[in-house]
């Protein structure tokens, strides 16, 4: 055991935390796995961790037992609050629980010193949460690293390279601002209840100097280009300037979105007027 608190199965039974599908609740109960996730982006001593969706608190406990200075946990399901209060009592002053929808919380305001985001994300809001953290105005961002669990299929889209089937808007946005890697995969049986799909933990390290470009422009070109990913760019980018735009960026109009690297998307975005 990592602490003297009760096993997670007992916590879940005592607080009647039957998993709700609508909240993306697939709990991790095995502390060997949970500890591995907590430490994926390195030792936690002196680090503040922002955790999304602590649920019954397994990862929260591993983060605190692993040496995190503080955990700020955002949870939407009020049924979990009494279980989290027990953890807060065990680690006085080190666990702050924010009750609410993580999509509506500005995490920039929560960061304190070296801050990481570490979470077994609710799958229904995982992509918008990630996009929000990648597209902030301030760079370097409020986090020094992120370790996040996604469905494997989404993880593949995050780390995809040009030419990969999964390469698209998410990979361009991620690769522009961060270095992202799949740390390890987890079988459905590791979760309670077991989801239908495999899961992956992805680590993100912010790039010190991402290529300068407006987020809005980058989103506009990737939306148009990947919206018609099989078409040649001179066709898919027609609304944004077509041949003239491509010429300004030095990119042949016969190429397709899935072949372009991040530098080329940035060149296109910087060629947009306005």
Look up residue 46 and give its DSSP letter: T
- Site for ligand SAM, residues 169 to 208, rule: CB under 6 A: none
Total residues at interface with ligand SAM (CB under 6 A): 23
Report DSSP letters for 113-140, one per residue.
SSEEEEEE--GGGHHHHHHHHHS-SSSS
Measured distance CA(11)–CA(269) in Å, rounded: 50
53 binds ligand SAM (CB under 6 A): yes
The site string for ligand SAM over 25-44 (x = CB under 6 A, - otherwise) reads xxxx----------------
The label of the residue with tokens 């397709």 reads: 256
Interface mask (CB under 6 A) for ligand SAM, residues 81-120, using x and -? --------------------xxx----------------x
Tell which positions 228-247 bind ligand SAM, by CB under 6 A.
none
Q: Pick from 12, 48, 77, 257: which binds ligand SAM (CB under 6 A)?
A: 77
For residue 115, the cross-strand partners are: 48
* Continuous segment of H or E residues that includes residue 270: helix 262-270
Under the binding rule (CB under 6 A), the answer on residue 66 touching ligand SAM is no
Instruction: Using DSSP, state whether 157 is helix, strand or coil.
Output: helix
Q: How far is the CB of 43 from ligand SAM (least distance, A)?
A: 20
Closest to ligand SAM by CB, 68 vs 74, is: 74
Q: Shortest gap between Cβ of 63 and ligand SAM (angstroms)?
A: 10
Tokens at residue 224, please?
Answer: 């148009």
59 near ligand SAM, rule: CB under 6 A: yes
Q: How far is the CB of 162 from ligand SAM (least distance, A)?
A: 31
> Would you call the peptide bond into 155 cis, given omega within 30 degrees of 0 as the criterion?
no
Q: Are 185 and 237 in contact (CB under 8 A)?
A: no
Minimum gap (Å) between residue 195 Cβ and ligand SAM: 9
Binding residue (CB under 6 A) for ligand SAM from 11, 63, 64, 125: 125
Beta bridge partners of 147: 118, 203
* Smallest separation, CB 59 to ligand SAM (Å): 5
Query: Nearer to ligand SAM by C-beta: 25 or 217?
Result: 25
Peptide bond into 140 cis (omega under 30): yes
Q: For residue 37, count CB atoms less than 10 angstroms from its CB and return exposed for 0-12, middle for 13-18, buried for 19 or more.
A: buried
* 8-state DSSP, 87: H
Query: Which residue in 112, 104, 109 sits closest to 129, CA to CA?
Result: 104
Closer to ligand SAM by Cβ: residue 142 or 150:
150
SS3 at position 192: strand
Q: Which is nearer to ligand SAM, 49 or 225 (CB)?
A: 49
Residues that bind ligand SAM (CB under 6 A): 23-28, 52-55, 58-59, 74-77, 80, 101-103, 120, 122, 125
């Amino acid at each position: 055991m990592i602490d003297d608190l009760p096993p997670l199965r007992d916590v879940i039974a005592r607080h009647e935390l039957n998993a709700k599908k609508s909240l993306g609740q697939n709990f991790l109960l095995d502390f060997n796995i949970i500890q591995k996730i907590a430490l994926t982006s390195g030792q936690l001593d002196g680090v503040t961790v922002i955790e999304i969706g602590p649920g019954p608190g397994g990862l929260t406990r591993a983060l605190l037992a692993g040496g995190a200075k503080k955990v700020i946990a955002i949870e939407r399901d009020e049924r979990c609050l009494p279980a989290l209060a027990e953890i807060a009592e065990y680690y006085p002053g080190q666990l702050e629980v924010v009750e609410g929808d993580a999509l509506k919380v500005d995490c920039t305001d929560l960061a304190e010193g070296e801050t990481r985001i570490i979470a077994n994300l609710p799958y229904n809001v995982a992509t918008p949460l990630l996009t929000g953290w990648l597209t902030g105005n301030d760079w370097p961002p409020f986090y020094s690293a992120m370790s996040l669990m996604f469905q494997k299929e989404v993880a593949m889209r995050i780390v995809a390279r040009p030419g990969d089937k999964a390469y698209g808007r998410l990979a361009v946005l991620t690769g522009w601002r961060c270095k992202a890697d799949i740390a390890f995969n987890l079988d459905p049986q590791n979760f309670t209840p077991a989801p239908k799909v495999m899961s992956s933990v992805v680590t993100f390290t912010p790039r010190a100097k991402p290529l300068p470009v407006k987020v809005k422009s980058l989103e506009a070109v990737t939306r148009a280009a990947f919206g018609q990913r099989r078409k040649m760019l001179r066709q898919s980018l027609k609304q944004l300037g077509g041949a003239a735009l491509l010429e300004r960026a030095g990119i042949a109009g016969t190429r397709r979105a899935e072949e372009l690297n991040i530098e080329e998307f940035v060149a296109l975005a910087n060629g947009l007027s306005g």
